[in-house]
Amino acid sequence: MSIRHSIWPCLIILLMTGCASLDSARSRPEIPAPPDVSSGADQSAGGAPSVDSPELPQDEPARQPVVAAPIDTWDRIRSGFRLPDKDRASVERHIRRYAANTRDIERSFERGEPYLAYIYYEVDKRGFPTEIALLPFVESSFNPKARSSEQAAGLWQFIPRTGRHYGLKQDWWYDGRRDVVASTRAALDHLDQLHQEFRGDWLLALAAYNAGGKTVRKAIRKNHQAGKPVDFWSLKLPRETTSYIPRLLAISSIVAAPEDYGVQLIPLDQEPRFTLIELPGQINLEVAAELAGMEIGELQQLNPGFQRWATHPEGPHQLALPQEKIAVFEQNLATLPASERMKWVRHKIQPGDTLGHIARRYDTTVPVLRASNSLHSNTIRAGRHLLVPVAARKPVSRPAPDTALESDRIADETRHRVRKGDSLWTIARRNGVSVRNLALWNDLDPDAYLRPGQVLVIHQDDAVPRPFSYTVRKGDSLFLISRRFRVSIGELRAWNTLPKGKYLQPGQRLQLFVGGAQGT
């Protein structure tokens, strides 16, 4: 045997080892649950050496393995797209409509940024098409506080009955339909059940998610009896459902190639931003934020299911926290006496007081007052005291039902009683605040209709945004600055005339308009 022939087995082994190294380098960074999304096709496209390539010269230096850039969450979402789009014309119509309002797309994904990595993680874990991770864009524009005229609520727009069927608790303290973790689990359970019912057809399952299984089954029966096809595109369904799936496919097409439509997608964390931790019991949300060393707004953003100033007294005793905040939170919580997890005010009972009046005054409930004071009935006596759990800032007294004043000024805020003809826009304009802030302070959708007699809170200390100059630091980006000051990337660009694609430079000064509390 010649020396030339004896070298071939060694070369083959070396080249195969090189392929394995490159394949390993192309695999996505490991996170707790999603399986590897890289495919054989992706690996071969990278140009790995083949064992059939000509023999390399002996004096050529060995090549160093090329390490691919980490795959981000947007790439992971794109890699799992697999829903069919038979009627491309209807999809294209919605693509054009979305592409005409690119800022709306960017704003929706900015709103969904805290949740998208988690939603993708859960969708991918179940092996679902990853277009489903974008379904909240169609349902709610990624607004966990969204509420429809049919009383559907949350990212996934559950109506009360369906939400309860899938275990989403709904009461004065807490609405599981708005809880990102609970509602995502319920939505994927619901879709899984529909997927099985419609024999593995994802488009029919999605149509049933929107219109109800009964409506889709009825349409299938009609087509079957008429000898017509029974796929989604052939069924006669309500107009909203007919456009529902093309809208999902349209936004998926834009996410697949955002640069083609002038859309700049906000960067996504490679792992879910938050982790659920167990709590020993009820805790005031402002106390929890202090323990974690974070802003109350950020905590509420990750825990939108809690509708009041504290977690539910009966559970769920869980809180979503950023991973980097958990250690300090648990350390501080361990040293905090149980009696200080809530804030209390000592209320002296006045003649004519009832538990109902006191509960409304302090934004709580009669059962909470009874439990907090070991009362066995609703009977109370003037001159005695009650311990009342309250928001951490200051005990806020709501106007009594018979108060005739239009607004009742309390400390640094105004309480406005809605009159006939009022809207969020007219009230915001009258008080020199933005509709967005007014809606945020009152836990409302910016498009919400108001009821006469409804009471709105208007904060005075940060009502009027004021200019604030910020010096760009090394490592800063528009995304990081927008998160730090709770403004949008679009606002930063508009305020500073920043074109897309232009990078910030250390030392550059930006003009921001923020409330007094944020700008200090």
pLDDT-based confidence at residue 309 (cuts at 50, 70, 90): confident
DSSP at 424: H
On the question of a common fold for 399-463 and 466-519, the answer reads yes
Closest by CA to 446, choosing from 430, 425, 466, is 425
Question: What is the average pLDDT across 364-380?
Answer: 84
Angle in degrees, 0-180, between the axes of helices 489-496 and 102-125, rounded to the nearest 10: 150
> Could you give the angle at the alpha carbon of 112 between the alpha carbons of 106 and 115, nearest 5°?
150
Q: Are 478 and 504 in contact (CB under 8 A)?
A: yes
Buried b (16+ CB within 10 A) or exposed e, 484-495: ebebbbbebbee
Over 90: is that where the pLDDT of 394 sits? no
Helix (H) or strand (E) holding 102: helix 102-125
Instruction: Inform me whether the pLDDT recorded for 343 exceeds 50.
Output: yes
Q: Which residues does residue 344 pair with via DSSP β-bridges, in sequence order?
A: 389
From the CB of residue 396, how many other CB atoms can be counted at a distance below 10 Å? 17
Residues contacting residue 309 through CB under 8 Å, at least 6 positions apart = 284, 285, 286, 363, 390, 391, 392
In this structure, of 27-31, 61-65, 321-325, 453-457, the range with the lowest mean pLDDT score is: 27-31
Higher pLDDT among residues 12 and 284, named by residue: 284
Q: What is the pLDDT of residue 24?
A: 36
User: 84-261, what's its fold?
Assistant: Lysozyme (1.10.530)
| Ramachandran class of 411: left when φ > 0, alpha when ψ lies in -120 to 50, beta otherwise | left
Q: Which of 214-223, 236-245, 478-487 is predicted least confidently? A: 478-487
- The more confidently predicted of residues 341 and 415 is 341
CATH, range 466-519: 3.10.350.10
CB atoms within 10 A of CB 328: 14
Whether 517 has a pLDDT exceeding 60, the answer reads no
Return the CATH number of 399-463, one of 3.40.50.1370, 3.10.350.10, 3.40.190.10, 1.20.1560.10.
3.10.350.10
CA quadruple 456, 459, 465, 470: dihedral sign: negative
Active-site residue flag, 139: yes
Cβ pair 305, 174 in contact under 8 A: yes
* Beta partners for residue 399, in sequence order: none
Q: Are strands 413-417 and 455-459 parallel, antiparallel or unpaired?
A: antiparallel
Residue of 60, 139, 197, 413 marked active site: 139
240-288 tens-digit pLDDT: 999 999 999 999 999 999 999 999 999 898 889 899 999 999 999 989 9
DSSP lists the bridge partners of residue 345 as: 388
pLDDT the model gives residue 514: 55
> What pLDDT shows up at residue 78?
96
Choose the most confident range, by mean pLDDT, from 48-57, 324-333, 438-447, 485-494: 324-333
Least reliable range by pLDDT among 104-113, 345-354, 399-408, 469-478? 399-408
- Per the structure block, which two tokens stand in for 138? 């169609």
Higher pLDDT, 46 or 419: 419
Could you state, in order of their start, the residue ranges of all structural domains in the chain?
A: 3-71, 84-261, 274-340, 399-463, 466-519
Q: Is the pLDDT of residue 4 over 50?
A: no
**Residue 63: what pLDDT?**
45
CA–CA distance, 298 with 319 (Å, rounded to integer): 12
DSSP one-letter code for 129: -
Taking residue 468's Cβ as centre, other Cβ atoms within 10 Å add up to 16
For residues 308 and 310, give the distance between their C-alpha atoms in angstroms, rounded to a whole number: 6
Q: In the chain, what is the greatest distance between 2 CA atoms, to the nearest angstrom? A: 111
